[in-house]
């Protein structure tokens, strides 16, 4: 078999498959970045506040002690309030 015979036996889909999937992946990555930018513009400030409360909750749990229970309840109430906005 010659090289030309091999090309005739392979379908175009098999030959270009990796390139097509690369294009789909690039398209999806671009779309993902655009969606992330929209979320950042619309929800960024709220998500920043949410991230702050979540970090406070984790830190309160790590600190432990008597303070833990009271502070954690307050922080969970803050989280609940943010999530209901």
* Residue 84 in tokens: 């209901």
pLDDT of 6 reads 52
Q: What is the pTM of this model?
A: 0.55
Q: In the chain, where are the structural domains located?
A: 17-83
The DSSP annotation for 31-44 comes to: HHHHHHHHHHHHHH
| Of the candidates 18, 62, 81, the residue with the CA atom closest to the CA atom of residue 10 | 18
62 vs 84, more confident: 84
pLDDT of 37 reads 96
d(CA 67, CA 78): 16
DSSP 8-class letter at 1 = -
The tens digit of pLDDT for each residue in 3-39 reads 555 555 666 566 778 888 999 999 999 999 999 999 9
The tens digit of pLDDT for each residue in 32-82 reads 999 999 999 999 999 999 999 999 888 887 777 556 667 778 888 888 888
């Amino acid at each position: 078999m010659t090289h030309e015979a091999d090309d005739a036996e392979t379908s175009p889909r098999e030959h270009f498959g990796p390139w097509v999937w690369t294009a789909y992946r690039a398209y999806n990555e671009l779309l993902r970045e655009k969606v992330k930018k929209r979320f950042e513009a619309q929800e960024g400030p709220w998500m920043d506040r949410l991230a702050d409360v979540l970090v406070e909750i984790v830190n309160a749990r790590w600190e432990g002690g008597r303070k833990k229970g009271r502070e954690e309840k307050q922080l969970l109430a803050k989280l609940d309030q943010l999530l209901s906005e």
